[in-house]
Amino acid sequence: MLISRSAVLRAMLWLGLLVSLSTGSTIALSNPPAYLAIIIDDLGHNLSNGQRAVRLSSPITYAVLPDSIHAETISHLAHASNKEVMVHLPMTNHSNFPDSPNTLNEQQAEHEFLDTVARAIQQVPYAIGINNHMGSRLTEQRTQMTWLMQDLKKRDMFFIDSRTTPATVAEQIAIETNLKAAHRDVFLDNTRSYEAISAAFAAAVHIAKTQGSALVIAHPYPITLQFLEETLPLMKDMGIEIIRTSELVSFQLSQPTSTQTVAE
């Protein structure tokens, strides 16, 4: 008898969830829905993968890179599909990856810094929030993070801390500024294999089930998009509701900050 891939995936997810729960608190799987938000980062360079990402059925959020060749196209497609758009704002990192023209850095004077933010937002139509692209160096800097959060507050935008360093102060300063903010709980595809992505997703489900909500960041890799295409239709049966990132922000504010980080 042939077993469908979706049936195998369902079994893998449930097994991963049950194993994770066996080492933590016991919860009833019939509880009211737990909430999961998913951001897809690094959009704008590959149009085909971006279009495929936008076609995902759930209310995914799309974080678009300013200066990318397809930034406007992907932003318009997402907005036309009633999906949320964010600016995936480049920031300096400890790994010395090359900077883009809109990369925020510590050497900029305040007016240069804010001009860079403004240009980036202009290049991503319909953006209602920002998360950091890389940024392991800059998100550790209180001065620059204060400039950023005060500016986003004036724009009535929200901020998601991608948490690319355990020493980030970004979310804390956002909260101090009374800016709507939250943080990433799980990176879905640090390892680009179906099995590793499934395990990471099971970890996100565990967090959502035990804490009420979780925020996942993924990337438009073909294997990731395939996984999401096959997984998202199963979420309702697992007691998980996929919601917009803006809707999750208020939940995440009351959650303890995850310590998971990733090398840029």
> Environment class of residue 165 by beta-carbon count within 10 Å: exposed (0-12), middle (13-18) or buried (19+)?
buried
- CA torsion, points 37, 16, 196, 66, in degrees to nearest 10? 0
* CB neighbour burial string for 207-217, b if at least 16 within 10 angstroms, e if fewer: bbbebbbbbbb
User: How many C-beta atoms lie closer than 10 Å to residue 250's C-beta?
Assistant: 12
Note whether 64 and 71 are within 8 A (CB).
yes
Question: Hey, is 22 helix, strand or coil?
Answer: helix
Query: At 47, which amino acid appears?
Result: L
Label residue 80 exposed, middle or buried (CB < 10 Å: 0-12, 13-18, 19+).
exposed
Q: Which of 99, 252, 107 is nearest to 182 (CA)?
A: 252
CA distance 263 to 108: 25
Of the pLDDT bands very low, low, confident and very high (cuts 50, 70, 90), residue 5 is low
| 151-209 pLDDT tens trace | 999 999 999 999 999 999 999 999 999 999 999 999 999 999 999 999 999 999 999 99
Assess whether pLDDT exceeds 90 at residue 86: yes
Q: Count other Cβ atoms within 10 Å, centred on residue 259.
A: 7
Tens of pLDDT, residues 38-57: 999 999 999 999 999 999 99
**Does residue 91 have a pLDDT over 80?**
yes
| Class (C level, CATH) for 32-252 | alpha beta
**Crossing angle of the two packed helices 71-80 and 47-54, in degrees rounded to 10:** 10
* Alpha-carbon span 194 to 92, nearest angstrom: 30
- pTM, two decimals, is 0.87
Q: List, in order, residues 6 or more apart from 133 with CB less than 8 Å away.
A: 41, 42, 63, 65, 88, 89, 90, 91, 162
